[in-house]
Structures are given as structure tokens and as C-alpha cells.
Chains A and B, each alone.
Chain A
Amino acid sequence: MSIAYQIIVCGSIVPDPLQTLEPASSPTGPALKNEMMLPAVLDPWASHALYEAANLAKTTPGSKVWLVSLGPKAKLQQVMMSVAQKVPFELVALDGPSGGFTEASDVAAALAEAILAIPGLDRSRMLVFGGWESASRGAGATMQMLGERLGIVDQFQGVDELKVQSDGALEILERIEGGRHQVSRCAGAPALLGWATGNLPEPKNNPQVGMANMRLMMPALQKAKAVKLAGEGLAFASVSLPRQMRQTRIVKDQSADAIAREIVEWIKK
């Protein structure tokens, strides 16, 4: 039994992990210093979700992948230039803030509205994917709230594997405590999966895929709906960098024996 899934991946952009981040004040609350200047990437866990979605679509004929992304339009455009080279998808862009200090509930509301407006959406074939947490807010809450808004009560978080069974059921592995996985069987779509890393490597750039994606991407960016995130009832008393600079003692020119002895003493202390 093969089902043509409608796979909707939710993922925003985050500062490149190698960048140094500093908090700053903005008229709308805390933000990052030079936020608009920081190089951005598609959120790492959302990226995994996108690759898993594309892989599932490839193996289930008739399936299609959408990427619903909320972020400043100009930054989205930059990031999508490289993401578009990876796997086939159609972009649904929302023009709004993508920073970590936004409210998960507000983001879920904006994403739900955008998803429900996708033409031809068939909820009985819908799989909603995303990262189980973002590398910005790290709330691990947005996907669940989105699922509730879409009426999906089969939800999974920290997903590392999805296998479609011969009867259309879904076998899903979720991360749980102690390096273990919980195995669940879900009757089928609709379902929501917040992905951890999954098992797939990052796809190589494919210029043909990029060309095909870009045909729809630019119009999607042009008509990106502006979204305001109110953050009602939320206040930040402070935002600060951790003060954890240590006085590093650098041990050079010591024999392996001497270093090993010191390490063993430290471990046993």
C-alpha cells in the first residue's frame, strides 16, 4: 500500500553556529547584536527534517514536500539559494522575525495559518515535519503547538527514524533518556514528527534540483506574507552571555606518563 504524502517541513533560519553571538536591545525586546548582518543557515534539526522528508517523498511516488519558513525575507532568500540545491521542495515563505526571543505560540499560529492556506492540502495525507528544537529559541514547543492547531494528536519528538510499513502504518523511533529509542507504531497520516538528526547525510548540491526549486522560490519569496509576532504576556528580565571564561592551564612538554598520571588522579579525586 503506497500513500502519496503531503509532507510539510517547518524550519527557520538561525545564525551560523560558528558566529559569536551577543545580545542587544531592540524596540521589540531582546535581539542579537548585528542580527541582520550575521551569516545564517537553515536550522540544523529542520535541515535534517527536510532531508528526511525529501527521502520519504522519493520513495513514495506522488508525494510532495513543502518547506514553510518564517524569517526576514532578505535573509530567507540568501539561505534558500543554498538550501534549494539540496532536495526538491516548494517554499512557503513568511516574512517576519526568526530570532530566538520570539514566542513559540505566536510562531505556531503563523505556521498553522500558512499551512492551512496551501492549495490542495489533504489533511488525511499530511505529515508535518520540523526540528524537535531550534538552534535559536530551543523551546521544543513550537511543533506541538502547531500540531494542536492543525488537529494532529499523533505527535513524535526527537525522531531519528521513520519507516512506512506495508499496510501504511508508520514505525517511528524517538529519542528518550539514556541513549535509548522508543519505538511507536502509528496507524498513518496525519502525524507530526519533530526530528532529531535522523540517519541521512547532508545531500550533495544538485544544480538541476536548484534550478527547479528556484522557479517557484522567487515568486514565493515575493509574495511572502508579513507576520508580526506579538509576544503578548512575555517579558525578558535579562538576557546575558554566560561568564564562564576559565583560566586555562596549558601543559606542554610533559611526557605521556606524567600527563596520564595527572589525569588519573583528577578522575579519581
Chain B
Amino acid sequence: METILFIAHTEIDGTLAKSALDALSAATATSASLAAGLVVGLIGENTQSAANQIALCGASKFLAVNGADFSQARYASDAAASEALAKAAGATIIIAPATSRANRALPGVAQRLGGRADTHAAGLGVTDGKLSVTRWYYRQRMEAVVQRTTRPWIILVEAGSQPTWLGAAGTAVVETVAVVLPDSSKRTTVTGIRSPAADAQTIRPDADLLFVTGAGWTKKQADGQTHVKEAEEIIVGFLKKTRASLGSSKSLVDLGGEGEAVLPFLTHLNQVGQTGATPRHPKGLSTCCHGEEPHTVGWRFINERRAISLDPNCGWARGKADVLYVADAFAVMKKVNEMA
């Protein structure tokens, strides 16, 4: 019989993030479908609040690695803690949220345990008693259903791909798993988090709308001149009014490296597509981007898609957007800002 271990790291306030509750939902559903035992494993400075938050999830046991050494997102300590939890639980299947922290550490844990890892899982299903994981290949251009016989099998579940676990809180009895870190595992220290100023933060994962800017914003316009300053005002104005999340095509981000005019608030972190992010938002609006495959693969999880482009034959017109407005994005977005 399989034993499922749900692993999560606590947030700074000691609770579990939404992405962890999404993965917990997948773990409880898989546990029920496989008639497998469910164990919760938590990692953090103090995990009691998080355990209480999910006390009624149906787990038979709550394990935790606690302590200051485990508060920071560091590979060596996270891997050691996860390895200890897996061994204590006797886990054959480990389900965790695909956070940056878990993505960094858990594949290495699979190696330590002689297991395998699948990241970016977008779906889990059970057919004839066999667990299957759905994930994307070739940057969201192909979808495959994977099955494995090797155990333990670590599955990292993408945030937003599963319903969020909404059970009530309670009081959990937490069993501490002792992990002593050697000095060799403390060579790295997390010294801080660097984030843009609050009003300059343009990446908003919870936004309803993804607003993507393409290279056209910095190209010569009908009057033969570039209008980068104007573009900046329009884009920033739109983001302020709508609280949309800002994405960009790679070509626009790369212009800086090529010495061309750039929009100063764009970085590689805004990049969506083949070598960028694949965010999840209900709606997406593309502007001044030609919608070719390397860009649009980043739109795989955008439900409603609209685009503004001067080219009626651009990629968006070929079944990649729901609506293509053949128009000047400068003129349209100025009006949108007036009306929004």
C-alpha cells in the first residue's frame, strides 16, 4: 500500500501559503483514490500554526522539522529536513507545492532516496489503481501523462492547477523529527529578499489580467520616431488603474542588452514565453507583440486572450487569441486609460 507524504514549508507568519493548500488538495484526493495513508510533513521555524491550519485534512500523522535552521529557504537544510520527513513517514509518494523553495530542494531529495521527481505537475489522476501525473514538455507545447513504478515518487504540484483545500482548522498533534545540520550544510546563509518598491512591483501573480507588452512599444511609429516615454506612461498608467500583472516578450526585455531604447521597469522577470514564465491568469491582453510561438507558449494557462496588433496576419490571428484588434496600441491604450 502506498503512503503519501504531503510536504510544505511554512511562511514567515507560520502559516501555509495558498500554493501549499492547492498541493494538499491534490494529496488528499490522491490518498482517497489510492486508498493510501496520508502523512503531513512540515518544515519551518515553528510549524504548530500550520499544522493546526490543516488539522482536519485527514492525515493520520503530522510530522515536523522545526527550528531556526529550517526557517530559511536554503538547499542544504531543506533537503535534509525533507529527507528526514520522507524516511520517518516511510513515504512512497511525496506531494509538495511547486514553490521556488520546494523546486530547489526536492529533486535532490529524490536522488538521495533513490527515487524520482516530477515537477510542474498540472494534474494527478488514478486509473485502475495506478497514479498518473500530467505535466508539460517542450515549454508547454506538449502535454504528457506519466506513470512510474520507482518509489519514492516526488510530485511537485503547480500552484493554481488544483482546487485549494478549504477544510476547517483544528488542533494537530505534531511529532517532531530531529535533524541536526552539520556545519557543512550551513555554508550558505540567506541574507535577504530583494523586491522592487511597492509601487514598482509589476508582477502580480494573483491579478485577474496579464498585460503583455511586446517590442513594438519601443519601435518607430507612424511618424518615423520612437515614443518610449509615452509608451512608459501609457503602460504604467494602465497598470495603476487595473492592477494587472505585467508581462513582456523576450525581445523587448533583450533590447537593453542591445543598446536600444528600453522601458525601464521591465526586467527578465517580466518575461513570458519560451524562456520566461508561464503565468496563470483568467484574462490576458497582448499589445505590440506579434504572437509567434515562442511568445504564446507562455500564454498556455491564460483563459481569455485578446491582442492588439497592427498586423492582421500576426500569430494571434491564427487561433491563438479569442479577439485580435487590428489597431494602433498607443491610440487604443490611451483611450482605455481614459475610460478605465
Could you tell me which A residues sit within 8 Å of B by CB distance?
14-15, 17-18, 20-21, 23, 30, 44-45, 100-101, 103-105, 108, 135-142, 144-145, 147-149, 153-158, 160, 171, 173-188, 196-197, 199-202, 232-242, 244-254, 256-257, 259-264, 266-267
Contacts and interface: CB of A to CB of B under 8 A. Distances in A.
Nearest to B331: A256
B202 A141 contact: no
Given A245-B319, A246-B319, A259-B325, A136 B111 contact: no
A257 B335 CA distance: 6
B30 to A, nearest CB: 16
A236 to B, nearest CB: 5
A157 B209 contact: no
Contacts of A235: 146-149
Contact of B188 (A17, A154, A251): A154
B2 interface: no
25 contacts: A17-B294, A30-B144, A108-B111, A135-B139, A153-B79, A154-B75, A155-B76, A179-B267, A180-B193, A182-B194, A184-B190, A235-B147, A235-B149, A236-B144, A238-B144, A239-B144, A246-B320, A248-B317, A252-B312, A252-B326, A253-B326, A256-B328, A256-B334, A261-B339, A266-B306
B318 interface: yes
Contacts of B71: none
B249 interface: no
Interface of B: 73-76, 79, 99-101, 103-105, 107-108, 110-112, 116-120, 132, 136-150, 184-185, 187-196, 201-205, 208-209, 242, 254, 257-258, 267-271, 274-275, 283, 285, 292-294, 300, 304-306, 308, 312, 316-328, 331-336, 338-340
A241 to B, nearest CB: 6
B318 A248 contact: yes
Contacts of B185: 153
A89 B143 CA distance: 35
Contacts of B74: 184
A249 B321 CA distance: 8
Contacts of B300: 242, 244
Contacts of B101: 176
A249 B73 contact: no
A178 B316 CA distance: 27
Contact of B107 (A144, A173, A260): A144
A162 to B, nearest CB: 13
Contacts of A141: 107, 110, 117-119
Q: Say what secondary structure dominates the interface of chain B.
A: mixed
Contact of B306 (A140, A252, A261, A263): A263
A177 B101 CA distance: 9
Contacts of A136: 137-138
Given A141-B119, A180-B194, A157 B148 contact: no
A248 B324 contact: yes
A149 B292 CA distance: 39
A183 B148 contact: no
A41 B223 CA distance: 38
B252 to A, nearest CB: 13
Given A181-B194, A249-B324, A144 B105 contact: yes
Contact of B283 (A17, A140, A261, A266): A266
A141 B146 CA distance: 16
A105 B110 contact: yes
Residue with the greatest number of chain A CB neighbours at <10 A, chosen from B104, B110, B118, B185 = B104
A204 B266 CA distance: 23
The 6 closest A-B pairs by CB, nearest first: A201-B257, A179-B203, A260-B335, A141-B107, A233-B150, A144-B108
B148 A233 contact: yes
Contact of A250 (B103, B142, B192, B324): B324
B107 A139 contact: yes
A234 B188 contact: no
